[in-house]
Chain A
Amino acid sequence: MALLTSSDLQAIGLTLQVAAFTTAILLLLGTPLAWWLARTRSWLKKPMGALVAMPIVLPPSVLGFYLLVFMGPNGTVGQWTQSLGLGLLPFTFAGLVVASSFYSLPFMVQPIQNAFANMGTRPLEVAASLRASPLDVFFSVVVPLCKPGFVTGAIMCFAHTVGEFGVVLMVGGNIPGVTRVVSVQIYDHVEAMEYSDAHRLAAVMLGFSFVVLLALHVYNGAQRKGAGA
């Protein structure tokens, strides 16, 4: 007997894809945002910081509900995506990625922002005095110095997206192969009282999250040791 059903495997594959896309998008969008938050003296810093952190405290049902309203045909985002010829986002893979990007934003931005802040301005000043271009400074100085922040942000973002449930339940529409991610598949098994199916898939998730967090701790430990040596 197979350990997991083919629909379970499909859900796992889909979940990994959503998490990978979300992580890539948030690396691109979250890095400049984190840079701005770490460097700015604008009065907007605190309101923006609060906005970025909101998905940590907001119930996913709030996020899911508003996404359905705003991405729907009567919502501002929905009218915009339709006018661009993209159609509507709810019930699509792209819609899940957009929803996940909101949901996982703080998990990417905050570690990177902390790394930027801890680095201070000194390395930037030194590099500038050696006439390095801003782009060169970023890739030759900032990225290597802040690598632990990027790694932590990416891993937390990926893992958090994999573990997402409420938002995808509300905007996904539970379509196999398109929006039925692992958490929804497990919920479905439990609701239908298919407990042994639920157990097997839930155990996979349990193992996955332990391994990810363990790897993160080991990595961070090694970084600290390296920095101390």
Chain B
Amino acid sequence: MKLRIKNLTPGAVALAFSAVTLADQAQVAVAANFAEPIKAVAAVLEKTTGHTLKVTLGSTGKLYAQIKNGAPFDVLLAANTATPAALESDGLSTPGSRFSYATGKLVLWSADANKVDAKGDVLKSGNFRKVAYANPKTAPYGAAAVQVMDRLGLTSTLTPKLVQGESIGQAFNFVHTGNAELGFVAMSQVLEGGKLKGGSMWLIPQALYSPIQQDAVLLQHGANNPAAQALMKLLQSPNIKDLIRSYGYDI
């Protein structure tokens, strides 16, 4: 097929040109619980603006340590409010850029469809070998799991059965492979299109743990990166909020 330049309108040429020159890339550090949604968000960003994202997943604490030591991230999507606030007081973020993009929910999940009951009584039954959670020192979802065990009065009985992932992603993997029968994971990891992907889960009542409010922050490294700025704007748009809700988050 020959390209017939004559038939292209000046507007189309300008659009094609701008798409090439204005498409930027942002390096985004993302808390592991948001692994699935960020893929969908990146697809929308690329479709609407041409900007692309390079995503690094990890526990919020690990990402914070990397940023403090000079990692070239443009945006942090944390699993808490404390870390973005700390980055602001460290002078590593753009002042006033911080906002909440989601409030996460903790679930007790098993890959086995018959394991977890609607009230989470399985935790008291002790009818399992291992229960996985994320490192509470670095992963806010892990800290929330500790609160839940405390408030249920199960800490001492569950301690011998606990296995720890470095992030909520690794905790999920332990349960997904069946090595741990149960796990405290993020609701976003087990939902697809608003439905449970598989296995069984207990949506842990919000009264059992402090809300997992998750803040985004534009880092100094990304202050002048158009792709990073576009991502921050997109995360606050109504359509994206609906998309994020479909993964089981509140906003």
In the complex, besides A173-B163, A192-B138, A193-B65, 7 extra interface pairs with C-beta distance below 8 angstroms are A69-B177, A78-B178, A90-B174, A175-B162, A175-B164, A187-B166, A188-B137
A152–B137 Cα distance when bound, in Å, is 40
Which residue of A is nearest B167, CB measured? A191
Which residue of A is nearest B132, CB measured? A173
A68–B174 Cα distance when bound, in Å, is 8
B62: interface (CB < 8 Å): yes
A149–B235 Cα distance when bound, in Å, is 61
Tally inter-chain residue pairs, CB-CB below 8 A. Answer: 57
Which residue of A is nearest B62, CB measured? A191
A91: interface (CB < 8 Å): yes
B130: interface (CB < 8 Å): yes
Contact B137 A88 (CB under 8 A): no
Contact A72 B179 (CB under 8 A): yes
Contact B164 A173 (CB under 8 A): yes
Please encode chain A, from 182 to 198, with 1 for each CB lying within 8 Å of some chain B CB and 0 for all others.
00000110111100000
Enumerate the 4 nearest inter-chain pairs by beta-carbon distance, A residue then B residue, closest first: A173-B163, A174-B164, A73-B178, A192-B137
> What is A's interface to B at a CB cutoff of 8 Å?
68-69, 71-74, 78, 87-88, 90-91, 169-170, 173-175, 187-188, 190-193
A175–B164 Cα distance when bound, in Å, is 7
**A168 CB, min distance to chain B CBs, angstroms:** 12
- In the complex, what residues of B have CB within 8 A of residue A174's CB? 135, 163-166
Given the interface contacts A87-B129, A173-B163, A175-B162, does A188 sit within 8 Å of B135 by beta carbon?
A: yes
A74–B170 Cα distance when bound, in Å, is 18
Contact B166 A191 (CB under 8 A): yes
Contact A191 B163 (CB under 8 A): no
A166–B91 Cα distance when bound, in Å, is 33
Q: Among the listed A74, A87, A170, A175, which residue makes an inter-chain contact with B178, where contact means beta carbons less than 8 Å apart?
A: A74
Which residue of B is nearest A175, CB measured? B163
Q: Among the listed B61, B162, B166, B178, which residue makes an inter-chain contact with A169, where contact means beta carbons less than 8 Å apart?
A: B166
Which residue of B is nearest A65, CB measured? B173
- In the complex, what residues of A have CB within 8 A of residue B174's CB? 68, 90, 173
- In the complex, what residues of B have CB within 8 A of residue A169's CB? 166
Q: Among the listed B132, B135, B162, B177, which residue makes an inter-chain contact with A191, where contact means beta carbons less than 8 Å apart?
A: B135
Contact A88 B61 (CB under 8 A): no
> What is B's interface to A at a CB cutoff of 8 Å?
59, 61-62, 65, 129-130, 132, 135, 137-138, 162-166, 170, 173-174, 177-180
- In the complex, what residues of B have CB within 8 A of residue A187's CB? 166
Which residue of A is nearest B171, CB measured? A173
**B170 CB, min distance to chain A CBs, angstroms:** 8
**A75 CB, min distance to chain B CBs, angstroms:** 8
Which of B62, B129, B130, B177 has the largest count of A CB atoms less than 10 A from its CB? Answer: B177
**A73 CB, min distance to chain B CBs, angstroms:** 4
Q: Among the listed B137, B138, B179, which residue makes an inter-chain contact with A90, where contact means beta carbons less than 8 Å apart?
A: B179
A193–B170 Cα distance when bound, in Å, is 20
Which residue of A is nearest B173, CB measured? A68
Which residue of B is nearest A171, CB measured? B179
- In the complex, what residues of B have CB within 8 A of residue A69's CB? 177
- In the complex, what residues of A have CB within 8 A of residue B132's CB? 173
**B39 CB, min distance to chain A CBs, angstroms:** 20
- Listed by A's residue number, 10 A-B pairs whose Cβ atoms lie within 8 Å are A68-B173, A71-B179, A74-B178, A90-B179, A91-B130, A91-B179, A175-B163, A188-B135, A191-B135, A192-B137
- In the complex, what residues of A have CB within 8 A of residue B162's CB? 175
- In the complex, what residues of A have CB within 8 A of residue B62's CB? 191
- In the complex, what residues of B have CB within 8 A of residue A87's CB? 129
Contact A191 B130 (CB under 8 A): no
A192–B65 Cα distance when bound, in Å, is 8
Which of A69, A90, A191 has the largest count of B CB atoms less than 10 A from its CB? Answer: A191
Which residue of A is nearest B164, CB measured? A174
- In the complex, what residues of A have CB within 8 A of residue B180's CB? 91, 173
A169–B62 Cα distance when bound, in Å, is 15
**B105 CB, min distance to chain A CBs, angstroms:** 24
Contact B61 A191 (CB under 8 A): yes
A213–B49 Cα distance when bound, in Å, is 56
Given the interface contacts A87-B129, A88-B129, does A191 sit within 8 Å of B138 by beta carbon?
A: yes
